[in-house]
Amino acid sequence: MPLREPKVKEKNSSSQRESIRLKEVHLVEAIIGIVIVLVLTAVVLAIVLMRENRRRTALTGAAADLDLTFEGRSKPAELLHPNSDWSLFNSGYSSHVWNLMRGQRADAKVEIFDFAYMTGLGRPRPVWQTVIKIESTKLDLPAFGLCPETALSRLAGTLGFHDINFDPFPRFSEAYNLLGSDEEAVRRAFTPDLLQYLKSHPGLCIEGAGNTLICYRDTARIKPEEIRSFLDTGVALYRKFLR
């Protein structure tokens, strides 16, 4: 009686070859997938770098036109006191500053820069904005933070104070949230002239303490061609806080 073992071995060998072939196909598909992801990532990074290089070049020109020095990248700790409690500079993680411009305006030290930080853990998301920082010995500001209603969560969570309203200016109080530890001092700082100015310039975020004032638009970077106007707004606010 003939033995059938060779056929069984042949069948097992065929199954092994098929299994190896499928593993090779899966490996090739995985490699192709990785290559596609790497290529797409490289394309995105190239686009981002090109965009940032164009912005840097445009801001370098804007700084020259405004008689400001362009100093490129720095660190947040070099711009504010390391123990600062201001909400913007305590937001998120992995924060950094770049496209830094420095100069003088109205007897005050002025800095304009792009500021970014990351939010979220599972799917991190960058948040960018352009900031004006003004320092002057002529300023003596109470600690405060002001932002439109949509940005309240960050300020309220950091400062932990209730909203300060002005009954004679209901539209201002509806549009903005103003927070501060010394309510009476904050009310004195926000004169009717300042409240009228802010009402006619919606969307601004302002934080102040002592001799320092910062101004920005929440989660928004200013276009290079609008830097002059943005600087004028910051200086106008600075002058309105002077006594």
Q: What is the pLDDT of residues 16-65, one digit of tens each?
A: 666 677 776 777 777 877 877 777 677 666 666 677 788 888 999 999 99
> What pLDDT is stored for residue 74 in this prediction?
65
Alpha-carbon 81 to chain mean position: 19
Lowest mean pLDDT among 8-22, 141-155, 185-199: 8-22
C-alpha dihedral, 156 to 136 to 101 to 130, nearest 10°: 20
Q: Which residue has the higher pLDDT, 206 or 152?
A: 206
Reported as a single tens digit per residue, the pLDDT across 2-25 is 545 555 555 556 666 666 777 767
Provide the residue count of the chain: 243
Q: How many CA atoms are closer than 13 Å to the CA of 171, on its beta-carbon side?
A: 9
Lowest mean pLDDT among 43-47, 149-153, 164-168, 191-195: 149-153
The residue with tokens 């927070």 is 179
Pairing of strands 204-210, 212-217: antiparallel
Tokens of 103: 């100069």
Alpha-carbon 131 to chain mean position: 9
Mean local confidence (pLDDT), 200-220: 90
> What pLDDT is stored for residue 101 in this prediction?
94
Q: Report the alpha-carbon distance of residue 43 to residue 236 in Å, rounded.
A: 42
Task: Output the pTM of the full model.
Answer: 0.76
